[in-house]
Amino acid sequence: MAPRLRVGLGLLPSPLHCWHLGPELLPEGVTMWIKRDDLTGMELSGNKVGLLLPHPLQPE
């Protein structure tokens, strides 16, 4: 049987930040949120890191 070794590939989930663009760029009452995949701690970002991690519903 293969050893079950888990390695942390990134700081996941990546955080969401409110992006304040000002009233000249966004209509009144609209808030824009961005997902900060650049803060995962890896040079890879987004779904590239996520695809390397086991899915929670995947059988072990």
Place of tokens 């779904």: 47
Rg (the chain; Cα; Å): 17
Q: What is the pLDDT of residue 59?
A: 60
Total number of residues shown for the chain = 60
pLDDT in tens, 7-28: 676 777 778 999 988 889 999 9
Residues 6+ apart with CB under 8 A from 38: 45
| pLDDT tens, residue by residue, 34-54 | 988 777 776 655 556 666 666
Report d(CA 21, CA 33) in Å as an integer: 11
What is this structure's pTM?
0.50
Does residue 3 surpass a pLDDT of 80? no
Cβ proximity of 52 and 10 under 8 Å: no
